[in-house]
A and B are shown apart, each in its own frame.
Chain A
Amino acid sequence: MSKYNEKEIICLLQDANRQREAFEAIVKEYSEQLYWQIRRLVLSHDDANDILQNTFIKAWSNIEYFRGDAKMSTWLYRIALNECLTYVNKQQANNTLSIDDADMEVVNQLESDLYFDGDETQKVFLRAIHSLPEKQQMVFNLKYFKEMKYEEISEILGTSVGALKASYHHAVKKIETFLEKHL
């Protein structure tokens, strides 16, 4: 299997002898793009790595239920973002921080991260994104960085296109206000 061909991969998934091989191709194809989406939400590499692993382990365990009605990427993004939400909710349950403390937490996390190369503007930009509710962050990241269509985001998040457009519009306004205030 040289080049990723979704139809071919889905066919191979039905074959018990070649299912593992097909899944390896899926991991190779999607791990990087999923990782960056997860990393933007959780910031830390270690957490992003754990969530990415859990995403693929869950996908592997439920691969029989993937019937090819949706795109493989949509299915994987849905699992990954659900895993992110579970992770964020757990974090929030463990430490109840005020909005200001949460903002400081983002700053500290970025400053102590050896694998963060961003300048001051990018730091403020990330703080602005993290000031949004989690689902709004997801909508903003998928639309702004990945330039995903609303229809696809709608399939991933299970929200109507209209609601997503409104959510993105609000997110942009809030981020712009944050940037104006902090830059």
Chain B
Amino acid sequence: MGKEDNILRKAGTSNPFRVLEHYFDNFTEELMGKLPEKEPLPFSTEPTLWERVKPWVYMAAMFCGIMLSVRIFVGEPQKDEFTISQAEAEMLPEEEWENFIRRAFDDNYETYQFLTEANNNH
């Protein structure tokens, strides 16, 4: 670069400034005396209770979420109208009982036949 060469020729790169003798040696010593003490970094190696249970809580929340979405998309399981408990069966009067059996096995020809034969035998 021509202009840079001109500057170099005219002014050079020498340092016209001075400092007191041993300034830099004393500077380090002086500065180190001025530096504040560092507070030890807080070392927390013991995890808190929340940190320990957090993964389990998250996992439980995830399963709840999945179950909820399944319920929303698939729908609640419908109660089988042809299923009754033993206590309910014992309470049922005989004529109701027969209707119930008929409804439950409506399309079952063999059951129907069995019931008809049983009636005839009576």
Contacts and interface: CB of A to CB of B under 8 A. Distances in A.
Interface of A: 16, 19-20, 23-24, 27-28, 31-32, 35-36, 39-40, 45, 49, 52-53, 56-57, 60-61, 64, 115-119, 121-126, 144-145, 169, 172-173, 175-176, 179, 183
B122 to A, nearest CB: 95
Interface residues of B, number: 26
A56 B24 CA distance: 13
B10 A144 contact: no
| Chain A contact residues, majority secondary structure | helix
B6 interface: yes
Interface of B: 1, 3-4, 6-7, 10-11, 13-20, 24, 27-28, 31-32, 34-36, 38, 40-41
B20 to A, nearest CB: 8
A28 to B, nearest CB: 5
A49 B4 CA distance: 30
Given A27-B28, A122-B11, A145-B13, A172 B34 contact: no
Contact of A121 (B4, B10, B28, B34): B10
Contacts of B18: 115-117
A31 B19 contact: no
Given A122-B14, A179-B6, 8 more contacts: A20-B35, A23-B35, A31-B31, A40-B17, A49-B27, A115-B20, A173-B3, A176-B6
